[in-house]
Structure 1
Amino acid sequence: MESRFYTAKDIANLLGVGVGKGYSLIREWNKELQQKGYTTAQGRVVKAYADLKLGFGIQKEDVYGN
């Protein structure tokens, strides 16, 4: 079964940045999730939330209109 979480290494690979930056983003996103009342896991972030923050679900029409 595929994991529902990204690790810092996953984030680094997706964005072409260092693992340290991946950890930094995960800390930021987990803090946001905690403020919304969600439970988080250190060093991991829910894929659905990371995808939303990274704009992976955004359609061309959402950015450019029609």
Structure 2
Amino acid sequence: MRVQYITALEVAEALGVSRSKAYQIVRRLNQELEKMGYITVAGKCPAQYFKQKYYGFQAV
């Protein structure tokens, strides 16, 4: 099964930032998603959205 969510700890590892900074990033991404009308989960964000925002990948 494909990973659907990325946790703040995985964001910290992927970007090489502190845990608190990773939580700020996830919070910001979730706020953007909420403005678009999506339901979010605290401390996690959709992996595809994270990849799109940080690496420029488009969801397939």
- 2:37 alignment partner AA: G
Taking structure 2 as the reference length, the TM-score comes to 0.87
Q: Match for residue 31 of structure 2?
A: 31
Q: Report sequence identity in percent.
A: 33
RMSD: 1.5
Q: Which aligned pairs between 1:36-55 and structure 2 lie closer than 5 A?
A: 36-55=36-55
Aligned residues: 58
Query: TM-score normalized by structure 1?
Result: 0.80
> Which one has a bigger Cα radius of gyration?
1
Offset of residue 57 of structure 1: 1.9
Moved over 4 A (4+): none
Question: 1: CA distance between counterparts of 2:44 and 2:15?
Answer: 16
